[in-house]
Chains A and B, each alone.
Chain A
Amino acid sequence: KQEVTQIPAALSVPEGENLVLNCSFTDSAIYNLQWFRQDPGKGLTSLLLIQSSQREQTSGRLNASLDKSSGRSTLYIAASQPGDSATYLCAVRKGETSGSRLTFGEGTQLTVNP
């Protein structure tokens, strides 16, 4: 059974700092990995999707890496801003069909202080 762990569970940083969120998964046989952001009381916003054959994806100040063999992914946020405060979730998808489910981590709650 796939298990996804995110460390740290919570993180508080001053504005402008670069930071790294970690995600690990126990079964390396994944199809892709997706990072999401969730604001309080809201749904999830997709940030980055990395296919299993890829090593990283970038979008603006966000960079996600994937090391499938070691079961790890990191989300790097550059020059953090108060608006980045949210819960960040990683999720892995195992199967090759559209119905294959995602397994989520518990999330990292990020607070960026002005």
Chain B
Amino acid sequence: GAVVSQHPSWVICKSGTSVKIECRSLDFQATTMFWYRQFPKQSLMLMATSNEGSKATYEQGVEKDKFLINHASLTLSTLTVTSAHPEDSSFYICSATGHLNSPLHFGNGTRLTVT
């Protein structure tokens, strides 16, 4: 089945530094990738939608200058958390889809801890 690889699975960084998270579709071309954030015991909150070769569409309340998304190819999207603060600590999950009738596949998530 389709596989989405997300890296790193966990990262600890100091406040003020930037962290890049990669999301790759391994066996299909992902025309669209979604980035989510999940707080403990809560459902997923959509942060942004990215289409290959175009700018990401951010959800209301999500700072695009803080959460930089790049979808440079049909198999790779990256999320960079810039100038991270402790309140950015969370579980970030990406998902990818190929054509419309196929399921949405998720990466295994990245646990970010900002100290």
Q: Is the CB of B100 within 8 A of A97?
A: yes
- Set A43, A93, A101: member contacting B108, Cβ < 8 A: A43
Q: Is the CB of A43 within 8 A of B101?
A: no
Chain B binding surface SS class: strand
Q: How far is the CA of A44 from the CA of B104 in the complex (A)?
A: 10
Q: How far is the CA of A81 from the CA of B79 in the complex (A)?
A: 37
Interface residues of B (CB under 8 A from A): 4, 6, 31-32, 34, 42-44, 46, 49, 51, 57, 91, 93, 95, 97-109, 111
Number of A-B contacts (CB under 8 A): 57
Q: How far is the CA of A97 from the CA of B49 in the complex (A)?
A: 12
Interface residues of A (CB under 8 A from B): 31-32, 34, 36, 41-46, 49, 51, 89, 91, 93, 96-99, 101-102, 104-107
Q: Is the CB of B100 within 8 A of A46?
A: no
Q: Is the CB of A104 within 8 A of B43?
A: yes
Q: Which residues of chain B are within 8 angstroms of A101 by Cβ–Cβ distance? A: 34, 46, 49
The 23 listed contacts between A and B (C-beta, < 8 Å) are A31-B100, A32-B101, A36-B106, A41-B109, A41-B111, A43-B6, A43-B109, A44-B44, A44-B93, A44-B106, A46-B103, A49-B103, A89-B44, A91-B104, A98-B32, A98-B97, A98-B98, A99-B49, A101-B34, A102-B34, A102-B104, A104-B43, A105-B43
- Set B44, B100, B107: member contacting A96, Cβ < 8 A: B100
Q: In the complex, what's the smallest C-beta–C-beta distance from B68 to chain A, in angstroms?
A: 19
